[in-house]
Amino acid sequence: MQLLKFVPIKLTLFLVAGILFGRFIETSISIPLIATISTLIVVAILLYTTRKIKSVLFGSAVLLLTSCIGFLAITLANPINTPNHYAKISNTGSKELRIKITEVLKPNSFSRRYFATILEADKRRTTGKIILSIKKDSSSQGLKVDDELITFNTLSSVKVPLNPHQFNYKKYLKGLGVFDQLYTTSAECILLKDSKSTLYGHAAHWRATIITKLKEQNFTPENLSVIQALLLGQRNDISEETYDNYKDAGAIHILALSGLHIGILLLILQFLLQPLERLPHGKKIKLVVILLFLWSFALLAGLSASIVRAVTMFSFLAYAMFLNRPTNSFNILALSLFFILLIQPNYLFQVGFQMSYAAVFAILWIYPMLQRFWFPKNKIVKYFWQLLSVSIAAQLGVLPISLFYFHQFPGLFFVANLLIIPFLGIILGIGIVIIILSLTNTLPAFVADAYNTILSYMNFIVRWIAHQDTFVFKGISFDFLQLLVLYSLTFLIVIAFSSKRHKVIVAFLIGLIALQSYTFFLKYKASTTHESMVLHQSRATGILEKTGTSLHLLSTNATAFEYTLKNYQIEERIETFAIDTLRNSYLLEGKRIAIIDSLAIYPSHKHSTILLTQSPNLNLERLIDSIQPLELIADGSNYRSDVARWKATCIKRKLPFHDTGEKGAYYLKQKD
């Protein structure tokens, strides 16, 4: 397979290279702009003087220009480089902020959450995206897309992880162009009535209308949430249990609108609109109708990265079918990737976007090889072999990414795909009909009941597969270097399988040995490290001691640290885990650490490190004079007002003070 002979693929690769360079070498707009203009001038001069498009020099200049364009695109996509970004206005004190809701997020136990744009700050027009959290109370109501409100609260930056190996929410939001968050209450917000509607707002309104109509039918809550995800791209109402079932069964792609759904939709439209070809210019009309329907569906589904990718790619495919020319699938994939990243370069760093393209690329490349490997004559066997081949190819494409981000692999993915995918076209088709009939109030009860039954069977199958714990491999530690090596091994084994060249097989075996050696090194490194720390957790106290692959948690509320320690155990390759209750003092890493809780009982020994927990009512000045501590630590179980007061006292007395809510976990032996 000589992919690099195709021009769109080469241009896309160099665009991606430019985006990667711009992402990790952040700079002002002037540098990439000058580089792009300069390279464009060189390309124009070469074209004018040589008039040879196929020359090596001209081709190299074009590829360099493409990289510069990628560099410029990612720099322009950085909100901080926008001239009127809200961050360029003085951030001292609270401001009058006019905010517009752009997306409704899944609420948590304490607040309703939204993505929002700051339209004005102190009456000055601005741009910039933030996370808005409004505390839940009896008077608060959910906001909608396009709602505008005024508040006088102060923005706060998104915090970095406070414990080791926690999910870096700050980094994730930065990839979405979000740097700050705003916490407020409904009483502190003024909802405006003169907000302007946008295309996104109209789409959100239609989604809400459809969901309201569907709720009037006799669907179970679980099935209704699956319908919303399957047909409308809305997963906010899916329970954690249902989501985990689909994830563990290897069928999560069914709930994420992507190429699978759009491909099925395109085939349905091609079949239904076939009569239009009999009209004058019927093929053009058919193409326009298909493209309008696909992009309207994408807008209705919220224009997520996966749906935009899929609709863009299948729009190119629909155009190729209109021209009735043999086309290269890799070219279509590359063109869709090129134009998407040109407009939204930050998509490249989104997990769903990466998995989507990896799966499609693997299907286009590996599936034909599997079909050549075995070609059964029986039609039924052939059909299921094709489904199995697609499933295997897609899983090979996303396996390294899945291990890197989610640390798990569903061993029975092919069972879920074989049992569900054959009927997904029917499920989607009936679902669209049900939505249309619901909007017109003409949906027969027996149709809704039948669809409810179908979805219940699908959920039952997924639940049964997910509960086969033996075949769900979780807690797999996997870093970025392992991801790169595993993709290289996948590439080599597929090449070896198709060409049977001995050099490729030797390279694969060397890579396999390298991967195993690196994995053994990581296990050895984990088994020889030792560290102890005071963790940060709201309303809880915990001291963690790691000795090799054994982990020991000292806490009176161990359940509070369950989520905090989940990733830590995976990344540090923990094999045994023990829990004990807290005592008054410990000797860890050569340090005497004494704990003072709500009882405010002073330790008997002097010159120790003091851990303050549960906001003890004490005179800190007297404590310092009495036991002369070396350092004070305040964890997340204390009131913030108490921590602020203790910090001020320690600054006054020139005593080291560590606030885990500000500085993160406290390592008893400081890292180099």
Helix axes 199-215, 282-300, angle to 10 degrees: 80
pLDDT, greater one: 6 or 190: 190
pLDDT of 92 strictly over 50: no
Q: What are the structure tokens assigned to 453, written together?
A: 């039954």
Q: What are the structure tokens assigned to 356, written together?
A: 């989507």
Residues 416-443, mean pLDDT to the nearest whole number: 85
38 in a structural domain: yes
302 in a structural domain: yes
Range of the domain at 291: 203-474
Give 123's contacts (C-beta < 8 A, 6+ positions apart).
96
Last residue in a domain, options 459, 474, 489: 474
pLDDT digits (tens, 9 = 90+) for 372-412: 888 888 888 888 888 888 888 888 888 999 899 988 888 88
Task: Say if CB 228 and CB 439 are below 8 A apart.
Answer: no
pLDDT of 423 strictly over 90: no
Last residue in a domain, options 528, 561, 593: 528
Task: Say if CB 8 and CB 331 are below 8 A apart.
Answer: yes
pLDDT of res. 327: 62
Alpha carbon distance 58, 54 (integer Å): 7
672 in a structural domain: no
| Listed residue (660, 549, 555) closest to 166, CA to CA | 660
pLDDT of res. 664: 92
> Is residue 569 located within the same domain as residue 635?
yes
Task: Say if CB 622 and CB 634 are below 8 A apart.
Answer: no
In this structure, what are the phi and psi dihedrals at residue 657, rounded to the nearest 5 degrees?
-135, 130
Alpha-carbon torsion angle 606, 607, 613, 617, nearest 10: 50
> Is residue 239 located within the same domain as residue 317?
yes
Considering only the C-alpha atoms of the chain, give the largest distance between any 2 of them, rounded to a whole number of Å: 96
pLDDT digits (tens, 9 = 90+) for 226-269: 888 888 888 888 888 898 888 888 888 888 777 778 888 888 88
> Is residue 245 located within the same domain as residue 380?
yes
**What is the separation, in whole angstroms, between the first and last Cα of the chain?**
48
43 in a structural domain: yes
pLDDT of res. 502: 81
163 in a structural domain: yes
Instruction: Tally the residues of the chain.
Output: 672
> Is residue 8 located within the same domain as residue 95?
no
20 in a structural domain: yes
CB atoms near residue 10 (< 10 Å): 17
Residues 124-150, mean pLDDT to the nearest whole number: 86
Last residue in a domain, options 162, 196, 230: 196
> Is residue 238 located within the same domain as residue 343?
yes
Q: What is the rounded average pLDDT for all residues in the chain?
A: 86
672 pLDDT tier (thresholds 50, 70, 90): very low
Beta bridge partners of 328: none
Domain count, the chain: 5
CB atoms near residue 665 (< 10 Å): 21
> Is residue 333 located within the same domain as residue 437?
yes
574 in a structural domain: yes
Alpha carbon distance 87, 158 (integer Å): 14
Q: What are the structure tokens assigned to 454, written together?
A: 């179908």
> Is residue 304 located within the same domain as residue 338?
yes
Read off the pTM.
0.84
> Is residue 304 located within the same domain as residue 353?
yes
pLDDT of res. 369: 86
CATH number of the CATH domain containing 136: 2.40.50
Task: Say if CB 574 and CB 549 are below 8 A apart.
Answer: yes
| Listed residue (370, 338, 346, 357) closest to 76, CA to CA | 346
pLDDT of res. 671: 58
pLDDT, greater one: 95 or 634: 634
| Listed residue (371, 354, 374, 573) closest to 477, CA to CA | 573
> Is residue 393 located within the same domain as residue 455?
yes
pLDDT of res. 652: 92
> Is residue 7 located within the same domain as residue 149?
no
> Is residue 490 located within the same domain as residue 426?
no
pLDDT of res. 118: 92
pLDDT digits (tens, 9 = 90+) for 49-79: 876 666 778 888 889 999 999 999 999 988 8
pLDDT of 1 strictly over 70: no
Which strand (E) or helix (H) includes residue 102?
strand 97-104
Alpha carbon distance 427, 266 (integer Å): 15
Percent of the chain with pLDDT over 70: 96
> Is residue 456 located within the same domain as residue 353?
yes
pLDDT digits (tens, 9 = 90+) for 282-322: 888 888 988 998 888 888 787 776 787 788 878 887 877 77
Alpha carbon distance 148, 189 (integer Å): 10
Residues 217-226, mean pLDDT to the nearest whole number: 89
Alpha carbon distance 68, 433 (integer Å): 47
| Listed residue (464, 407, 437, 424) closest to 246, CA to CA | 464
Alpha carbon 323 to chain centroid distance? 37
216 in a structural domain: yes
Alpha carbon distance 360, 383 (integer Å): 19
